[in-house]
């Protein structure tokens, strides 16, 4: 019986050291910071007179925060969340995706996505690691949405390590 217990203990110890290599540490975006980023994006657009919504997701695209400026069109809520989801999923700005599709053979396949497949979604990175994404919607065009997003991310860059 003692031999069995000793063998089981040695086996468990060996398994734990092997399994320890099957885990990894990730930097996560906290909800408090997500709210701050969304607020900053809305404020950045408000300075220029744009009524927008801003959504922040985690790395998987799950919504962490959503802020809608009082005068923003209600449709900007879903648009900003979708832009953030797409950017988080692809780890790149939605504007890069749009540029790659325009004029390509695949462009027609993406014409019925309710207008969400436009500029205004940008990844939030800690170093080179995508930890979330910010989507902004409601400015006169997606490029202006994206500008507001970058202003917000730049404001918190020092804490994204």
**Is 71 within a domain?**
yes
Q: How far apart are CA 40 and CA 137, in angstroms?
A: 14
**Range of the structural domain that residue 150 is part of:** 27-159
Query: Sheet holding 63-68: strands in order across?
Result: 63-68, 53-58, 129-137, 121-126
Q: Is residue 5 part of a domain?
A: no
Give the number of domains in the chain. 1
pLDDT classification of 23: cutoffs 50, 70, 90: confident
CA distance 72 to 139: 9
What is the enclosing helix (H) or strand (E) of 34? Answer: helix 31-47
Q: Is residue 56 part of a domain?
A: yes
Which residues contact residue 118 at a Cβ distance below 8 angstroms, ignoring those fewer than 6 apart?
83, 94, 98, 142
125: CATH: 3.30.450.150
Q: Is residue 95 part of a domain?
A: yes
pLDDT at 27: 83
- 43 vs 12: CA distance, rounded Å: 55
Mean pLDDT score of the chain, rounded to an integer? 85
pTM for the full predicted model: 0.80
Residue 21 lies in a domain: no
Least confident of 20-29, 35-44, 98-107, 125-134: 98-107
Position 133 in a domain: yes
Tell me the residue length of the chain: 161
What percent of the chain lies above the pLDDT cut of 90? 65
The SS3 of residue 123 is: strand
Nearest Cα residue to 81 out of 130, 131, 136, 37: 136
Q: Confidence class of residue 13 from pLDDT cuts 50, 70 and 90?
A: low
């Amino acid at each position: 019986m003692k031999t069995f217990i000793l063998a089981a203990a040695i086996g468990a110890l060996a398994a734990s050291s092997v399994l320890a290599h099957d885990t990894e540490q990730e930097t996560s975006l906290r909800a408090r910071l997500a709210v701050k980023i969304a607020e900053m994006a809305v404020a950045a657009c408000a300075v220029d007179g744009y009524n927008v919504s801003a959504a922040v997701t985690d790395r998987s695209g799950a919504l962490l925060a959503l802020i809608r400026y009082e005068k923003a069109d209600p449709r900007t809520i879903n648009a900003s969340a979708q832009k953030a989801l797409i950017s988080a999923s692809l780890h790149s700005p939605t504007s890069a995706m749009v540029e790659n599709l325009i004029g390509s053979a695949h462009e027609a396949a993406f014409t019925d996505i309710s207008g969400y497949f436009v500029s205004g979604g940008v990844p939030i990175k800690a170093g080179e690691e995508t930890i979330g994404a910010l989507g902004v919607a409601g400015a006169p065009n997606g490029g202006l949405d994206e500008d507001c997003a970058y202003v917000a991310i730049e404001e918190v860059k020092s804490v994204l390590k």
